[in-house]
Structure 1
Amino acid sequence: MGRADWRIHGMSVEGYRHRRDGLPCQDACAHVTEGPVAVLAVADGAGSRPRSDEGSRLAVELAAEHFVRRAGEAVHSPPGKAVHDLLADAFHEITMAFLDTTGAAAADFATTLTVVVLAPDWLGHLTVGDGFVVLRAGAEDGEPQFHVLPQAADASEYSNETVFLTSPDAARWMRTDCVCDPGIDGVLLSTDGLAQAALSRTGGGTPAPNASFADAVFRSLDGPGPVSDSAHDNLAALLRSDRLTALNADDKTLLRAVRKARP
C-alpha cells in the first residue's frame, strides 16, 4: 500500500481564562498515518468537569487508534454505507474503551470529539458535540473554495447543550458523513474556541467558512517538505493572539492537513 499523501500539523493551546487562572488546556488533538490512511481528531473537554483535560487527551488517543485500524480494514470499501458503518463501529469501540478506562468517574472526563478519516477514495467524518470541519476543494476564478461539513445536532431542539462522549445516548447525537471528492486538498478541524474566527453565520443561521481565515491557515502549510519550527511557532502565536482572544477566550485547537504536491 502507498502512503497517505497529506502534510499534517496542528496544536491545542490554553485560552486566556485558563492562562490567567493557571489551569490546564482542556482541548486536545492527535493525528496518525498508517499506509494510505490518515486520521485526524480534536476534542474539547467540558469546562465544568474536573478531569476533562484528561478526557480530551484520552478521546483523541482512542480515536487515532480505533479509526486508523477500522479504516485500514475497509480502505478499499466504496464510498457510502460501508464508510458510515465503519465510523459508527469505531465510535462504539471508542465509547466503550473510554468508559472502561474512566469507570464510575466517567462524567468527570466529559469531552466532545470530532474525527476525519482520509482514505484514497473518500473522506469520512464523525462528530459528537460542537467541533467543526472546513474543507478546501475546488476553485472559482482562481480563488480556492471552502466548505463547512454539517455539525452534529444539539441535544435538544430547545437548547444548544453540548453532547459529550459520556452523555446518555451519545450515539444518538453522533453525526457521520462520507465525502467523495478528489478535489479536496485541505482539511481543517477545530473545537468551538475558533468558531468566531473560522466561521460566519448566514441569514438562516447556517455556518459558512471565513474564507480569509481558512486560506491563510492552509496556505501557510502548502509549502513542500516537513513542517518547519517557524510554522509551529507561527501557529502558536496565532492561536494565542490578542485578535483571536478578543473573539473567544476559550482554549483553541487547530488541526490541518494539506495534500502534498505530486512529484
Structure 2
Amino acid sequence: MSDQTWNSWGASVIGPLHVKTGSPNQDSWMARRYQWGNVVVVSDGLGSKAHSDHGSKAACLAVFEAAESYQNHPDANIVDILRLIHANWLVRISPYSSTDCSATCLFAIQNEVMITLGRLGDGMIVALGETDKNHLILSDNKQDSFSNYTNSLQQEFKADHWETAVIETTAYNAIVLCTDGISDDLLPEKKMIFTQELYSTYVDMATEERKRDLRRWLNEWPVPGHSDDKTIASLFKKGSY
C-alpha cells in the first residue's frame, strides 16, 4: 500500500504573451495517486510548435502509463522507463506529428522505497532533503547561455538528453518541479531557498486555500517583463517540516 503521508499540489497559469496572442497555455501538469505511491509530472510545450499544448498533455499521460508499467516490473532500469515514456508519447500525440508537439518532460515517481526523477529539457526539479546534505537540484544554469535551444520529446529517443536521479523516499520531504517560466527567473543560489519557502508555506495549508494562493502568486509574478506560461507542481510529505 502507498505511504499516505505523501500528497501533491500544482498550478499553471498562462503567460502574458499567450494572453496577448490568444494562444493556449502550452504548459501542463498532472498528479496521480496509486496504491503503491504517487506520480507528478510537469511539461512545457515548445512555443514554436503548432500543437505543443497537446504535446505537453500527452507527455504527462505518457509518464503515468510508464510509471504503472514500471511498478509491475521493478527490475526495469531507468532507461527502460524513459524509452517507454517516449513510446507512449508518440502514441498519444496522434493524429499530430512529433514535430508539431515537441515538449519538455519533468517527473517524479514515488513509492515507499524510492523516488525516481527525470528531466528532459528546460525547467527545474528540486528534491528537498530532511537534512541539507540530501538536497538535490536538477537544473540548467542559463546565466551564461545565449541559446534558446532545449531538449524535448520528439521523434527520435535519445537517452543521453535526459537527466535522472533515484533517491530514497525516507530521506526527503518534498519534490518541486517547475517549467522554465519559473526556474529561469530564479538565480542558481536562490533555487533551494525558493523551494524551502514554498514547502514551509504550503505543507499544512488546506487544499482549496493552497490552490487559490498558488494561482494568485503565479498571476502576480514579480519579475518585470516576464512573458512565459508558468507551471509548478510538488510532491510533499505532509506535516514533516
Query: If the TM-score is normalised by the length of the shorter chain, which range does it land in?
Result: 0.7 to 0.9
Matching residue within 149, 162, 173 for 1:185: 173
Question: 1:159–1:196: structure 2 CA closer, same or farther, 3 Å change rule?
Answer: closer
- Which whole-Å CA distance do the structure 2 matches of 1:2 and 1:194 have between them? 30
- Which whole-Å CA distance do the structure 2 matches of 1:128 and 1:109 have between them? 15
- Which whole-Å CA distance do the structure 2 matches of 1:47 and 1:103 have between them? 19
**Counterpart in 2 of 1:88?**
79
**Counterpart in 1 of 2:64?**
64
What is the deviation of 1:150? 2.9
Question: 1:119–1:242: structure 2 CA closer, same or farther, 3 Å change rule?
Answer: closer
What is the deviation of 1:232? 0.5
**Counterpart in 2 of 1:251?**
229
- Which whole-Å CA distance do the structure 2 matches of 1:30 and 1:7 have between them? 13
Q: TM-score normalised to the size of structure 1?
A: 0.79
Question: 1:57–1:49: structure 2 CA closer, same or farther, 3 Å change rule?
Answer: same
Would the aligned equivalents of 2:116 and 2:164 in 1 still touch at CA under 8 Å?
Answer: yes
1:89-168 equivalence runs, <5 A? 89-101=80-92, 102=94, 105-139=97-131, 147-151=135-139, 159=147, 161-166=149-154, 168=156
**Counterpart in 2 of 1:42?**
42
- Which whole-Å CA distance do the structure 1 matches of 2:71 and 2:41 have between them? 14
What is the deviation of 1:137? 1.5
What is the deviation of 1:170? 2.9
**Counterpart in 2 of 1:12?**
12
Matching residue within 212, 230, 247 for 2:209: 230
Q: TM-score normalised to the size of structure 2?
A: 0.86
Q: What is the identity, as a one-letter code, of the residue corresponding to 1:231?
A: R
**Counterpart in 2 of 1:209?**
191
Would the aligned equivalents of 2:2 and 2:34 in 1 still touch at CA under 8 Å?
Answer: no
RMSD: 2.8
- Which whole-Å CA distance do the structure 1 matches of 2:62 and 2:163 have between them? 18
Q: What is the identity, as a one-letter code, of the residue corresponding to 1:201?
A: P
Question: 1:57–1:46: structure 2 CA closer, same or farther, 3 Å change rule?
Answer: same
Q: Which runs of 5+ in 1 are unaligned?
A: 75-81, 203-207
- Which whole-Å CA distance do the structure 1 matches of 2:158 and 2:146 have between them? 18
SS in 2 for 1:209: helix
Question: 1:247–1:40: structure 2 CA closer, same or farther, 3 Å change rule?
Answer: farther
Q: Residues 217-246 of structure 1: CA distance to partner in whole angstroms, max 9, x if unpaired?
A: 21232117xx432211110011111414x2
- Which whole-Å CA distance do the structure 2 matches of 1:188 and 1:89 have between them? 24
**Counterpart in 2 of 1:172?**
160
Would the aligned equivalents of 2:115 and 2:167 in 1 still touch at CA under 8 Å?
Answer: yes
- How many residue pairs get aligned? The number is 237
What is the deviation of 1:103? 5.5
Q: Which runs of 5+ in 2 are unaligned?
A: none
Would the aligned equivalents of 1:200 and 1:210 in 2 still touch at CA under 8 Å?
Answer: no
- Which whole-Å CA distance do the structure 2 matches of 1:177 and 1:161 have between them? 23
Q: Residues 118-154 of structure 1: CA distance to partner in whole angstroms, max 9, x if unpaired?
A: 12122111111112111221357xxxx8834334799
Q: Percent of aligned positions with the same letter in both sequences? A: 22
**Counterpart in 2 of 1:205?**
none
What is the deviation of 1:107? 0.8
